[in-house]
Structure 1
Amino acid sequence: MSARVLMVQGCTSDAGKSTLVTALCRWARRHGVRVAPFKPQNMALNSAVTSDGGEIGRAQAVQAQACGLEPRIDFNPVLLKPNSDIGAQIIVHGRPVADMDARDYHDYKRRAFDAVLASHQRLVDAFEAVIVEGAGSPAEINLRDRDIANMGYAEAVDCPVILVADIDRGGVFAHLVGTLALLSQSERARVAGFVINRFRGDLALLQSGLDWLEQETGKPVLGVLPYLHGLQLEAEDALPRAREEKPQASLRVVVPALPRISNHTDFDALRAHPDVDLRMIGPGDVLPSCDLIVLPGSKSTRADLAWLRTQGWDTAIARHVRYGGKVLGICAGLQMLGRAVHDPHGIEGAPGSSEGLGWLDLETTLAPYKQLHRVQGHFSFADAAADAAVQGYEIHCGISRGAALAHPCARLDDGRDDGAVSHDGNVMGTYLHGVFDHPRALAALLQWAGLRHVTALDVRALREASIERLADVVEKHLDTACLSRWLGVTPCVP
């Protein structure tokens, strides 16, 4: 018997689609349903390495966790990773196939849709329920032709759709009614109901609006979800909306928010840590006094390195290091810390070379084939507490060579060394994303950065607790009778 399929679409980007799918996945799993997540097409620079050796959007890895599954390429068969304002790397079934601009990708969508439907079929054959996340909004008129991410997919597989809107941004009724009005007749018919997200206040004051919405559209409001503070979930793409003030924090960490920053979920553990004041700085900001600067991953290493220089941050980093501050580079950040970055094949832009920041004696050449590994090992730098265990994942095209690699950051269980540490121990680089996620690794890195007494923190346990909170919210605030019918959940009999 094929799985039941339910799709969540949003009136806007960041309406709460990823979070609602995560919540529904855990709720269904709680009720004994073998459930899987699915996102036909994702555009994001936060990605994950799957158990079958591919690359998918980070949000689908979180949703897999909610289902009790390891990430698979079929959970996100098409991933677009922007490398400019008009172009992106196209990843199909976990592997890069080409760099395309918007026009070329529009022509390619027919082939991409074949990949989407192939993954869909494998999932409905293997599971009892599949909960699908749309992308952006289904009412983007200019993208309706050859749509594979929203209603184009829903129409092809004939599944019901929940439409979610964010009330915290205002205009929620206009978003819902306007979105519905811009759909075709058949698309409107498959919208099974609305969910209003991020509500704070007295629900009684909203009730008259909910009654009007149901009468105006003929669609039920399936529930109103409260604004949840303190969720520890990896973001699909957008940077966090606000910085949490931590006056008690004793370690100051600064991360430059590069134009093509990738996998900024690397810093979730730092955001959550009570001892760390994390600040992400953007265009025009002056690099503030801090203990640790972290250069993040990037989809366009040379372009972001040039941009960093236009901000004057190369000079600020040099001053920081001269005064004994620590610098950590992750993936592209490691490459930037070397003497040069070469791109002879034009992997990330026009072919050429760029001078690095020069803090590590190595050079990096971008190669045509992306390296995707899930790894574990132990730190090997001098300040690592008790040879701390580390886990993470590699997503990069760069091959680094140079004398600095003789002093690695970590030794991996597969026999390879990772990264490099400067002779004075103040500058370090690693190719490993997720390097802060393991509790002992986090403690070792914070001690290296200058924190004497580290509060224990397990960000993975925090994510699991957040997923459980989401399932509780579904149980309390959504129409679980409807959800049970759609997903094949057997109601509990008192």
Structure 2
Amino acid sequence: MRSSRHPPALMLLGTGSNVGKSLIVAGLCRLFADRGLKVRPFKPQNMSNNAAATAQGEIGRAQALQARAARIAPHVDMNPVLLKPEGERGSQVILQGRVAGHLSSGDFSRRGDFLPKVLESFERLCDGADLVLVEGAGSPAETNLRARDIANLGFARAAGVPAVIIGDIDRGGVIASLIGTHAVLDADDRAMIRGFAINRFRGDVALFEPALATITRATGWPSLGVVPWFADAARLPAEDGLDLVRGATARGGALKIAVPVLPGIANFDDLDPLKLEPAVELVFVRPGTPLPGDAALVILPGSKTTLRDLARLRAEGWDIDILAHRRRGGHVLGLCGGYQMLGRTVRDPLGLEGPAGAAPGLGLLEIDTELTADKTVREVMVEHPGSGTAGRAYEIHLGRSEGPDRARAPFRVGERPEGARSADGKVVGTYLHGVLASDPLRRAWLGSLAGGPLAIGEAYEPAVEAALDALAAHLERHLDIARLLELARSRS
């Protein structure tokens, strides 16, 4: 399936997951957009519980950031297949923005069935574009998955898109990972890769020149650049849970906020704005570690598997820690799945997030939740009457929560009250994601927790924009941008 016009397109592959593909695509989107090109990001298949709402449905959060970098609105065609892991049982399938069923862990070879929809989205995205930047997933060296691949070279060959491959030197073994990838690919797949780049380099690049020559001799791929470590990546939303603690504050702060890290944690970029506040010490609490007793606030973030995470929270003893925190007068904030956990009961009668069942919640809010098949995905304008502030937010959730504490909803969306609040005001829950990105709302709320004004940090949205601009400049200095554009224009 090809369009009558083939705009330039280039695919960025990686030698593995978390090598920096998402951020490099975002930086290139900003770079080429600032050159006046109509740039579109595209990821055929993503696996992440960090999702974003668009006007048409949900996509991976990384593609929403890339769309922002390209100075355009996000669209479901930018990420036609989103797999949202649900523990060991498999993943929920989001196809072109909407729930389309589940894939069990033994059924992942069926992903190839989605290729027609992937190509359909790609063709629509190409229409009117000057350049499409495609991000791969994982590694093309996973030859056991190649026959039904839609995420890497399977897509590249179906769409006739040339590729470059990125290796992450920070994790070690980058020479072997690039040469090894070349070795396991068949000849036709190798031919789609036109060069390589090294990411996250520290030190004197001149010392790595012999290694670049070694890689080129072994693979025939030219080097397209060595990208030094980019510290401001911590200011941009992370896609992978492995990056969750990246940029978390290690400094002491007037306000300590504790976040228990559960297996199904989702939309954890909700917490990113807190990292920029100098008065906040953000502590991610790993399994096996108690919640700090001196925290002013505990945040239960979103979850893709609420009942499973609620059981894990109890297994870790964090429920006891949270109840003790409340007895000391501490505050608790629940976001989406975390909001559901704060109530009296959580029911999943249809088994939408795992085996059908129900469990008592933490009982900190007088609400009850039942998961239903209808999924809410929308962007909204939100008001916080308590501080007289407003901002943008989004919702991505299953189910409804009802009960007496809804009468004290902390937010309003239009005429609709949203969320719930305890009688003493110290426990708050909401389905809204992104509310902490509103600087006035976040600061008014943090000040209320601290009992007075706090030191003001950076404004969140301008900080993201500045980081994207800096990332584009960083890539322009260290990658062969002219050669990348030339490769994109060679699309067959």
User: What interval of TM-score do these two structures reach, taking the shorter chain for normalisation?
Assistant: over 0.9
- Determine whether 1:442 maps to 2:445: no
Instruction: Report the counterpart of residue 133 of structure 1 in structure 2.
Output: 135
Of the three residues 273, 276, 279, the one matched with 2:277 is 273
Unaligned 5+ segments in structure 1 are 490-494
8 A Cα contact 1:87 1:101, kept in partner: yes
Instruction: Report the counterpart of residue 112 of structure 1 in structure 2.
Output: 114
- Listed as ranges, the matches of 1:449-488 within 5 Å are 449-450=449-450, 452-454=452-454, 455-487=456-488
> How far apart in 1 are the matches of 2:12 and 2:246?
26
Structure 1 length as normaliser, TM-score?
0.95
Give the secondary-structure state (helix, strand or coil) at the position aligned to 1:126: coil
Deviation at 1:456, TM superposition (A): 4.5
Give the secondary-structure state (helix, strand or coil) at the position aligned to 2:364: coil
- 1:32–1:487 distance in 2 versus 1, CA, 3 Å: farther
> How far apart in 2 are the matches of 1:465 and 1:287?
34
In the alignment, residue 421 of structure 1 is paired with which amino acid? Answer: R
8 A Cα contact 1:246 1:274, kept in partner: no
8 A Cα contact 2:50 2:239, kept in partner: yes
Give the secondary-structure state (helix, strand or coil) at the position aligned to 2:287: coil
> How far apart in 2 are the matches of 1:38 and 1:484?
16
Deviation at 1:451, TM superposition (A): 5.7
Give the secondary-structure state (helix, strand or coil) at the position aligned to 1:3: coil
8 A Cα contact 2:9 2:134, kept in partner: yes
Deviation at 1:344, TM superposition (A): 1.1
Of the three residues 346, 356, 360, the one matched with 1:355 is 360
> How far apart in 1 are the matches of 2:422 and 2:183?
60
8 A Cα contact 2:18 2:240, kept in partner: no
Of the three residues 285, 294, 307, the one matched with 2:312 is 307
Instruction: Report the counterpart of residue 178 of structure 1 in structure 2.
Output: 180
Identity of counterpart residues, as a percentage?
44
> How far apart in 1 are the matches of 2:182 and 2:451?
53
> How far apart in 2 are the matches of 1:145 and 1:442?
48
Give the secondary-structure state (helix, strand or coil) at the position aligned to 1:165: strand
Of the three residues 346, 349, 363, the one matched with 1:344 is 349
> How far apart in 1 are the matches of 2:464 and 2:71?
13
Q: Deviations over 1:266-315 (max 9, x none)?
A: 10111222111101112111111200000010011011101101111111
Of the three residues 282, 287, 300, the one matched with 2:286 is 282
Give the secondary-structure state (helix, strand or coil) at the position aligned to 2:148: coil
Instruction: Report the counterpart of residue 41 of structure 2 in structure 1.
Output: 37
- Listed as ranges, the matches of 1:238-277 within 5 Å are 238=241, 239-242=243-246, 244-277=248-281
Q: Deviations over 1:171-221 (max 9, x none)?
A: 110011001111110111121111100001011111111122222222110
Of the three residues 32, 48, 61, the one matched with 2:52 is 48
Instruction: Report the counterpart of residue 410 of structure 1 in structure 2.
Output: 411
- 1:58–1:224 distance in 2 versus 1, CA, 3 Å: same
Instruction: Report the counterpart of residue 428 of structure 1 in structure 2.
Output: 428
- Equivalenced residues, count: 482
- Greater displacement, 209-218 / 78-87: 209-218
> How far apart in 1 are the matches of 2:133 and 2:485?
13
Deviation at 1:246, TM superposition (A): 4.2
Give the secondary-structure state (helix, strand or coil) at the position aligned to 2:203: coil
Deviation at 1:245, TM superposition (A): 4.6
Deviation at 1:126, TM superposition (A): 2.7
8 A Cα contact 2:420 2:429, kept in partner: yes
Q: Deviations over 1:221-254 (max 9, x none)?
A: 0000010113211111223355645434211000
Q: Deviations over 1:5-30 (max 9, x none)?
A: 10000001001110111111111111
8 A Cα contact 1:243 1:279, kept in partner: no
Instruction: Report the counterpart of residue 96 of structure 2 in structure 1.
Output: 93
Deviation at 1:391, TM superposition (A): 1.9
Give the secondary-structure state (helix, strand or coil) at the position aligned to 2:393: strand
In the alignment, residue 363 of structure 1 is paired with which amino acid? Answer: D
